[in-house]
Amino acid sequence: MLKFVKGHMDSISGIEIYPIISLSIFFIFFIVLLVWVFTYSKSKINELSEMPLNED
């Protein structure tokens, strides 16, 4: 089964760029997410964490 898939993938020209693009998108997404988490304000985090406890 793997040889069948690999044979078709080898016949497609330019296919080697897709794993590089997908890996780049993956790392860029998580780096942006990490930056967003570390730069988010502490007061907003506290406000959001207390929301379930508020009665109104």
pTM over 0.75: no
At residue 13, the pLDDT reads 85
Average pLDDT value over all residues in the chain = 89
At residue 21, the pLDDT reads 96
Asked if the model's pLDDT at residue 17 lies above 80, the reply is yes
Q: Are 20 and 14 in contact (CB under 8 A)?
A: no
Average of pLDDT values for 5-30? Answer: 89
Local confidence band at 42 (pLDDT 50, 70, 90 cut-offs)? very high
| 34: Cα within 13 Å, side-chain hemisphere | 6
Q: Which amino acid is at 7?
A: G
Which residue, among 11, 29, 34, 9, has the nearest Cα to 19 in the 3D structure?
9
Average of pLDDT values for 1-6? Answer: 77
Distance in angstroms (rounded) separating the CA atoms of residues 49 and 46: 5
